[in-house]
Amino acid sequence: MFGRPRRHRERLLLPGETIGRRRFLVGGLMGLALVAGAGWLALRRREDLEGVGGPFAVLAPDEAAVLLAIARRVVPPDFPPPERVRVAERVDAFLAMSHPGVQLDVKRLLALFDSAPIGLLLDGSPARFRSASPRRQDARLTAWATSRIAVRRTGFRALRRLVCSAYYSSPATWGAVGYPGPPALHG
Amino acid sequence: MAERGRILRGDDIRADVEERPDVCVIGSGPGGAVTAARLVERGAKVVVLEEGGAFTRRDFDMREETAYPRLYQERGARATADLAFTVLQGRALGGGTVVNWTTSLRVGEPVLAHWARRHGVEGLDGRALTPHFEAVERRLSVAPDVLQEINANNRALWDGCGKLGWSRSLVPRNVSGCLRLGYCGMGCPVDAKATMDRTYLADAVAGGATVYANVRAERIGTDGRRAVEVSGEVRDPATDLPTGRRVVVRPRAVVLSAGAINGPALLLRSGLDHGGRVGRRTFLHPVVASVALFPRPIEGWQGAPQSVASAHFEERGQGRMGFFVETVPIHPMLAGTSLGGFGETHGEVLSRLANAQAIIALCVDGFHEGDEGGTVALREDGRARLDYPISPALWEALREGNKALARIQLAAGAERVLSLHDPPVELRSEADLARLDAAPWEPMRVSLFSAHPMGGCAMGGDPARSVVDSSLRARGLDNLWVVDGSVFPTSLGVNPQLTIAAVARWASDGIAARAG
């Protein structure tokens, strides 16, 4: 879905691209945040990850938790909840069939999107996405969707597409959208 | 009468295979299948390599969750590198024809004249192509759709254009015995669609061709002057992962028909970049879409997906990019992944999907001075990378296209029209059209699409500007031909599958004469 260019270094780099100052800075910030927040996270982790489902072939449980948190805001309020549609498991199944480069890109993007320091730096919101309030979560999604920084809009579209393709391709959502499903063929 | 050939799948291939045919055809879409059939007819021993799987009607369960990962490139996730464009491109035995929405139009003669004038293409005019169009239309059962049988989604396009006084036409479709189920894009479950695997490829096999499905051509080896080897990686049909087996073909000639993205990528992986021209001038027919909510049910998931088109805006005057208008089927995933916004905004349309109607404007790229389209390059890991920068002229066409779509929908009786922007722009009457002028026309602020990748191996008369000559033979290689949509020096202005088949048939005489 997105990847590492060889011939386009002058272009804006995308989430998951390996080379470039932006990447280095972002990586550095994320590294710092991980060290600083490790103790706190160790305490939080257990309750954070309850109900993420699985087992997963590609996603780590905390990555699945971020994905589910995004899905809860992307899916309309009256629709079946994403965990019941097994959105994280369905995204995981898609990733398991995908190129390793795609898997890595998605994992990096989820970490970046969830990151508290990145949220603070870019949107003035110091919480991890998955533990922020619904109002703050919507604000961060909108900030990425409409950002002046092209790579954030790319990131938003990747996340929304992953969630929506996993969710709306499931027969469990057909009732909510009023789709009767494919016709039955006889003979 | 030659001995009948056969189709082998990845799980049939238990050991490494070496083949020494006359011709190795890479890809089984309209370019590869028609060429293979014609070469077999002339007595050539042909081997076809196809990276996609071999499916029959019983495999097509009409579910998006099965069809997109299985029948589309990159599991349905093909896109430009920045995700500004979603690219729907088929991947199966039969190529894109397996998932094509059946629109079968001939390229216009002005396009061919432009190619002759501006790109030095020789011998490819309406008169030369007409008998080939007639032949493929016969073989593919192409006939115009019938007004009384079109679905409500297409009826809205027909009625809207009628009210506005804009030109409209019924689309010719490559079907026979169509039940109008509405699932052409997921593989025809009743064998009504005349796909390549059921027509030209079947003819090739009947005449002795050997077809390998689940075999991905990795590299074309040359001795500097001639292509001497095609090496392919065998994949497991169930998982699509490499099995470790290889198919190595040592042919007398190679026909590359892998499409406008995978074809250039294969040439680049093989070190054949033709002075940096391979992968340049890639065209997409960039698509902007509009969704409308009607007071009545539309149920855009049923009925033939594309029955009506409008070429009213094909010519928009000097310096302006033309566009044509068609419909799209409406299924939950296709809709859910295309709409702008999220949460409640999504719910407004998705909870009323039965009343949703959708049409698209396809921009005709590649004709104006300086319109170089996009590029196909390689990522470090060998995968294709597609980039498509959007010029001011294309933004203008996308914006005006979106306005035309909204006007059609309002004229046809839509209550509300929604653009695919983030956030969506809403229109309830013509007075709201200015809102589309003010919308954020920026990459990744509006969902854009392509289902028609073309170019990247441009044909032409000037060796310094083209990858193949007017016989579709690669410059600098005596025995490699490129036969697919990648050879078009511009986009077509019509859905490309039929023209690719006709051009392949036109080129096949020359290929047979030189490769035989």
Contact yes or no for B85/B450 (Cβ under 8 A): yes
Q: What is the pLDDT of residue B283?
A: 98
- The minimal CB distance from B342 to the residues A74, A90, A182 is found for A74
Residues 6+ apart with CB under 8 A from A161: A1, B77, B83, B86, B337
Instruction: Kindly report which listed range (A80-89, B2-11, B179-188, B413-422) carries the lowest average pLDDT score.
Output: B2-11
- d(Cα B351, Cα B356) in Å, to the nearest integer? 10
- d(Cα B417, Cα B401) in Å, to the nearest integer? 14
- d(Cα A112, Cα A15) in Å, to the nearest integer? 8
3-class DSSP state for residue A185?
coil
Q: Give the tens place of pLDDT for each residue, A120-166.
A: 888 888 899 999 999 999 999 999 999 999 999 999 999 999 999 99
Is the bond leading into A55 cis (omega within 30 degrees of zero)?
A: yes
Tokens of B251: 């042919």
The phi and psi torsions of B382 (rounded to 5 degrees) equal: 90, -10
| Residue B113: C-alpha distances to residues B136, B356, B508 (Å) | 22, 40, 21
- List of chain A residues whose C-beta atoms are within 8 Å of the C-beta of residue B387: 8, 11
Chains A, B: CB contacts within 8 A come to: 162
Task: Tell me which of A7 and A68 has the higher pLDDT.
Answer: A68
CB contact (8 A) between residue A3 and residue B354: no
Chain A window 123-142: which residues touch B at a Cβ cutoff of 8 Å? 138, 141
- d(Cα B172, Cα B501) in Å, to the nearest integer? 15
CB contact (8 A) between residue B445 and residue A97: no
How far away is chain A from the Cα of B87, in angstroms, using its nearest Cα? 11
A3 CB within 8 Å of a chain B CB: yes
Contact yes or no for A5/A16 (Cβ under 8 A): no
A98 CB within 8 Å of a chain B CB: yes
A153 CB within 8 Å of a chain B CB: yes
Pairing of strands B480-482, B253-256: parallel
Q: What is the pLDDT of residue A118?
A: 86
3-class DSSP state for residue B18?
strand
- Is the pLDDT at B210 greater than 70? The verdict is yes
Best of B60, B72, B83, B235 to disrupt the A interface (most A CBs within 10 Å) is B83
DSSP-assigned letters across all residues of B250-313: --SEEEE-SHHHHHHHHHHHTT--TTTTTTEEEE---EEEEEEE-SS---TTSS-S--EEB-TT
Closest to B28 (Cα-Cα) out of B49, B14, B56: B49
How far away is chain B from the Cα of A100, in angstroms, using its nearest Cα? 10
Beta bridge partners of B144: B172
How far away is chain A from the Cα of B509, in angstroms, using its nearest Cα? 38
- Is the pLDDT at B248 greater than 70? The verdict is yes
3-class DSSP state for residue A31?
helix
- Is the pLDDT at A30 greater than 80? The verdict is no
Greatest CA separation found in chain B? 68
- The minimal CB distance from B332 to the residues A8, A100, A177 is found for A177
Closest to A97 (Cα-Cα) out of B213, B299, B65: B65
- d(Cα A77, Cα A97) in Å, to the nearest integer? 30
Pairing of strands B46-49, B210-212: parallel
- The minimal CB distance from B422 to the residues A1, A3, A145 is found for A145
- d(Cα B460, Cα B471) in Å, to the nearest integer? 9
The phi and psi torsions of A33 (rounded to 5 degrees) equal: -60, -40
8-state DSSP, B390: P
What ipTM was estimated for this complex?
0.95
Query: Nearest chain A Cα to B63, which residue?
Result: A182
- List of chain B residues whose C-beta atoms are within 8 Å of the C-beta of residue A156: 422, 444
3-class DSSP state for residue B450?
strand
Which helix (H) or strand (E) covers residue B138, if one does? helix B126-139
- List of chain A residues whose C-beta atoms are within 8 Å of the C-beta of residue B63: 169, 171, 182
CB contact (8 A) between residue B332 and residue A174: yes
| Residue B90: C-alpha distances to residues B8, B81, B190, B193 (Å) | 20, 18, 19, 15
How far away is chain B from the Cα of A13, in angstroms, using its nearest Cα? 9
Give the whole-number percent of chain B exceeding pLDDT 90: 97
- List of chain B residues whose C-beta atoms are within 8 Å of the C-beta of residue A176: 350-351
How far away is chain B from the Cα of A57, in angstroms, using its nearest Cα? 14
| Cα atoms found within 13 Å of the Cα of residue B149, Cβ hemisphere only | 16
Q: Give the tens place of pLDDT for each residue, B455-489.
A: 999 999 999 999 999 999 999 999 999 999 999 99
Q: Give the tens place of pLDDT for each residue, B119-175.
A: 999 999 999 999 999 999 999 999 999 999 999 999 999 999 999 999 999 999 999
Using only C-alpha atoms, chain A has a radius of gyration, in whole angstroms, of 17
Mean pLDDT of B487-505: 98
- Is the pLDDT at B181 greater than 60? The verdict is yes
CB contact (8 A) between residue A98 and residue B83: no
Give the whole-number percent of chain A exceeding pLDDT 90: 63
CB contact (8 A) between residue B385 and residue A8: yes
Mean pLDDT of A103-109: 96
A145 CB within 8 Å of a chain B CB: yes
A104 CB within 8 Å of a chain B CB: no
Tokens of A7: 């011939």
Q: What is the pLDDT of residue A12?
A: 36
- Is the pLDDT at B496 greater than 70? The verdict is yes
pTM of the model: 0.93
Which helix (H) or strand (E) covers residue B327, if one does? strand B323-327
Amino acid at B417: V
Unique residue bearing structure tokens 């033979």: B473
Contact yes or no for A123/A88 (Cβ under 8 A): no
A9 CB within 8 Å of a chain B CB: no
Mean pLDDT of B508-512: 95
Is the bond leading into B423 cis (omega within 30 degrees of zero)?
A: yes
- d(Cα B91, Cα B97) in Å, to the nearest integer? 9
Residues 6+ apart with CB under 8 A from A34: none
How far away is chain A from the Cα of B379, in angstroms, using its nearest Cα? 5
How far away is chain B from the Cα of A147, in angstroms, using its nearest Cα? 9
Q: pLDDT grade, residue B263 (50/70/90)? A: very high
- List of chain B residues whose C-beta atoms are within 8 Å of the C-beta of residue A146: 422-423, 440, 445
3-class DSSP state for residue B329?
coil
- List of chain A residues whose C-beta atoms are within 8 Å of the C-beta of residue B423: 145-146
How far away is chain B from the Cα of A165, in angstroms, using its nearest Cα? 6
CB contact (8 A) between residue A76 and residue B422: no
- Is the pLDDT at B86 greater than 80? The verdict is yes
Q: Give the tens place of pLDDT for each residue, A168-185.
A: 999 999 999 999 999 998
Best of B65, B179, B186, B293 to disrupt the A interface (most A CBs within 10 Å) is B65
